[in-house]
Structure 1
């Protein structure tokens, strides 16, 4: 990759990693649903002018049903679930769980689309999910400090990301990627709007929470989507996927710097195992010998 590509990858990881910090700041005051409605609606408003400028709106015609499904499974529901999770776990912890997305993507492609997995990728799935167990084993309780609901919510969110990626590949291949991003965010905003109106907070919301949601929508969603799809077109999906490895680093870093979140040894160990499993499952690295080439499915 060129220096410019590496720089944009780092910026993208920093923006996406920061979204967990912003959710930690804003979710307690807005609530998960209202927060995410504001996030996707403001992000869509940022992307619509860019889409029209690039004349990509033609790709929206005839694709709204598929875009609605992507909007539900790639934005509306997973964003809400992750915002809910950040009410109980740190932003750094949630960002590490977010790194399981490629594991779910590979597993769903194997089960649903019949993709054949090499031995290395099967081992990667097993290693990755063992890393999840290592990360969460002491959090699955309801007493103080527990996250018995937050952890399943975050993992359900990342499984939805995995489904959305495979669904997009199957149903929206050839559709302008910026149109997919913009159209799916519009659908997500419209779908969440009734619930957001019903759940709008009755108490005053602080300026800090408003600032967090505005920056998250503009920078961590709108700008991040533009960077992501530009990189996707320039360097391809395999290389762009490596951003997954950087997001937890920034998620933990921003939490430590701005929210005084202290990473634990358990978090670091779980993160390393998850990232190793992700690298194997995504085919970015392979095991040596016959196991690496053995096929499953």
Structure 2
């Protein structure tokens, strides 16, 4: 029975990572480009969180989930700022400038940045080798951005800075969310994050409702990021971690940038660029090496770290 659980957990992990990977092309589909804008990044951010918040409220009521304790509100609030507001907003603005494939290479650094944030927030002490891997991954991302700076389809300064900001926002959100996950449960943590955001996201979405006609495909992208990226994906991911083991299943997140790049081909018509794939593979290689060195001398509990999600 355990073998079946581990297999199911692995497949659920892959499914969750696939949901998160498709977030990048779906976000670009929803926002459009600078030359052909569709939904505004503000509406997309507030609207997707409001949609996920409504689904979360239904889930919490149906499962009769108790309110979080007083000391849990602060980390939940920080997770809300990072994961429900900061990351999707910065990502949406960036994807009006850069392609989804380009963004996939930058955001592939997310696991390393999350580990670095854990070292800061949770007072971990990683080996020197981890920090060298983090520097190597960052150097690869900078080199990729510089290489693409002359390509009219890619932004260098502003677009890449927005992506870096999105990565840091998501990382901090994951770390703070992980602090309350052992007590609340993984699914309830993301649900409370989305429900906490409702007083901001629901009226904000109505205020930012698009006044101009929007393509049907953009609305499709909006529904996807609200339902799957912000909600269903976390259920599949966390359930996969629980069934298959966090250490084993978490390795599936290394597939995320490749899901993004491949999904951008049919959804956005982006070319399958070997240079982009090569840089993505190189960044993932630094992540693999860095992750092996990021769990040393930790003062945080293994349970707390096991639930730290290192994606979108």
Q: TM-score, normalised by structure 2?
A: 0.82
Aligned residues: 288
Say what the alpha-carbon RMSD is for the aligned residues: 2.7
Match of 1:7 among 4, 11, 14: 11
Q: Distance in 1 between matches of 2:226 and 2:204?
A: 19
Structure 1 stretch 77-86 or stretch 263-272: which is displaced more? 263-272
Distance of aligned partners of 1:283 and 1:97 in 2 relative to their CA distance in 1, 3 Å threshold: same
| Contact 1:66 1:172 survives alignment (8 Å) | no
The equivalent of 1:274 in structure 2 is 283
Distance of aligned partners of 1:159 and 1:145 in 2 relative to their CA distance in 1, 3 Å threshold: closer
Match of 2:23 among 14, 19, 25: 19
| Contact 2:24 2:100 survives alignment (8 Å) | yes
Secondary structure in 2 aligned to 1:203?
coil
| Contact 1:101 1:162 survives alignment (8 Å) | yes
Q: Distance in 2 between matches of 1:49 and 1:175?
A: 17
Deviations 1:231-263 (Å, cap 9, x if unpaired)?
Answer: 232234333432321111111111112211013
Q: TM-score, normalised by structure 1?
A: 0.86
| Contact 2:11 2:240 survives alignment (8 Å) | no
Distance of aligned partners of 1:65 and 1:122 in 2 relative to their CA distance in 1, 3 Å threshold: closer
| Contact 1:92 1:255 survives alignment (8 Å) | yes
The equivalent of 2:175 in structure 1 is 166
Deviations 1:82-127 (Å, cap 9, x if unpaired)?
Answer: 1111111111222232221111112222334331212432232122
Match of 1:230 among 236, 239, 249: 239
Q: Distance in 1 between matches of 2:155 and 2:105?
A: 17
Once the 2 structures are TM-superposed, how far is the Cα of residue 134 of structure 1 from its aligned partner? 2.5
| Contact 2:127 2:293 survives alignment (8 Å) | no
| Contact 2:112 2:291 survives alignment (8 Å) | yes
Q: Distance in 2 between matches of 1:77 and 1:141?
A: 28
| Contact 1:76 1:189 survives alignment (8 Å) | no
The equivalent of 1:241 in structure 2 is 250
Runs of 5+ consecutive residues of structure 1 not aligned to the other structure = 287-292
Distance of aligned partners of 1:142 and 1:44 in 2 relative to their CA distance in 1, 3 Å threshold: same
Q: Distance in 1 between matches of 2:139 and 2:207?
A: 40
Match of 1:100 among 109, 113, 118: 109
Secondary structure in 1 aligned to 2:292?
coil
Does 1:215 pair with 2:219?
A: no
Secondary structure in 2 aligned to 1:115?
coil
Once the 2 structures are TM-superposed, how far is the Cα of residue 197 of structure 1 from its aligned partner? 4.1
| Contact 1:102 1:278 survives alignment (8 Å) | yes
Q: Distance in 1 between matches of 2:203 and 2:150?
A: 33
Once the 2 structures are TM-superposed, how far is the Cα of residue 21 of structure 1 from its aligned partner? 1.5
The equivalent of 2:66 in structure 1 is 58
Runs of 5+ consecutive residues of structure 2 not aligned to the other structure = 33-37, 299-312
